[in-house]
């Protein structure tokens, strides 16, 4: 059930209006989540900035989607799961890869190690040890990728928890 309404630019606070109009000019429109985030200029700006920053991540796109699927499965955001499933398919992932990602793993042990740590960053970050980070390095992951992992998890936590709080759900009609 929807708890927060979407806002048209004219209804939004001044800073959100500016951000929404900019997105509309560049992309032709804004989605339901973004127009709902417009209630808070701080949240909208933070989401846009973090989203832009994470697009510059060195994580391969398909792996980024696997991580997002694993994280969103635990958060429980149906809207995000739908979006990341579509993005995963667009990145070339098949149904088996998507199903494994939603379970927090991968057929590739190299990827499975990173996905597993990402899930722990979400669920129990205080449990991460020196050995966990050393294990990622042994799997060939660079410090840059390891450092970017919490950013991707944070972006997914922001979008998933926002959608759940706002009552945004997939539209299956």
Domain extent listing, the chain: 9-54, 61-166
Across 55-63, average pLDDT: 96
8 Å CB contact between 136 and 129: no
8 Å CB contact between 60 and 148: no
And the tokens for 121? 């960053």
- Report the distance separating Cα 53 and Cα 83, nearest Å: 19
And the tokens for 12? 């939004």
User: Would the pTM of this model clear 0.85, i.e. be above it?
Assistant: yes
| Neighbour-count burial of 16, counting CB atoms closer than 10 A to its CB (0-12 exposed, 13-18 middle, 19+ buried) | buried
Alpha helices in the chain (DSSP H): 14-27, 32-37, 41-54, 61-75, 78-90, 95-102, 109-123, 130-138, 143-166
Whether the predicted pLDDT of 67 surpasses 80: yes
And the tokens for 122? 């979400």
Return the sign of the alpha-carbon dihedral for residues 130, 134, 137, 139: negative
| Tens of pLDDT, residues 111-138 | 999 999 999 999 999 999 999 999 999 9
Local structure of residue 172 (DSSP, 8 states): -
Note the pLDDT of residue 172: 72
- Report the distance separating Cα 166 and Cα 160, nearest Å: 10
More confident of the two residues 172 and 26: 26
Q: 11: helix, coil or strand?
A: helix
Counted residue by residue, the chain has a size of 173
**In the predicted model, what is the mean pLDDT of the chain?**
97
The verdict on domain 61-166 having CATH code 1.20.1290.10 is yes
Sequence-distant (6+) residues with CB within 8 A of 95 are none
Whether the predicted pLDDT of 173 surpasses 70: no
Whether the predicted pLDDT of 31 surpasses 90: yes
122 closest CA partner among 153, 81, 80, 162:
153
Whether the predicted pLDDT of 153 surpasses 70: yes
Across 10-34, average pLDDT: 97
Across 151-160, average pLDDT: 98
Whether the predicted pLDDT of 146 surpasses 80: yes
């Amino acid at each position: 059930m929807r708890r927060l309404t979407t806002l048209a630019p004219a209804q939004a606070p001044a800073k959100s209006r500016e951000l929404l109009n900019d997105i509309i000019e560049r992309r032709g429109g804004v989605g339901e989540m973004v127009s709902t985030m417009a209630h808070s200029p701080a949240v909208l700006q933070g989401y846009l900035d973090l989203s832009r920053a994470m697009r510059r991540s060195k994580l391969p796109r398909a792996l980024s989607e696997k991580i997002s699927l694993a994280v969103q499965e635990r958060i429980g955001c149906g809207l995000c799961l739908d979006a990341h499933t579509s993005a995963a398919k667009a990145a070339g992932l098949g149904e088996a890869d998507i199903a494994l990602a939603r379970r927090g793993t991968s057929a590739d042990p190299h990827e499975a190690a990173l996905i597993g740590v990402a899930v722990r960053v979400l669920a129990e970050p205080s449990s991460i040890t020196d050995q966990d980070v050393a294990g990622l390095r042994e799997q060939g992951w660079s410090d840059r990728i390891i450092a970017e992992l919490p950013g991707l998890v944070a972006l997914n936590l922001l979008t998933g928890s926002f959608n759940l709080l706002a009552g945004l759900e997939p539209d299956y009609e």
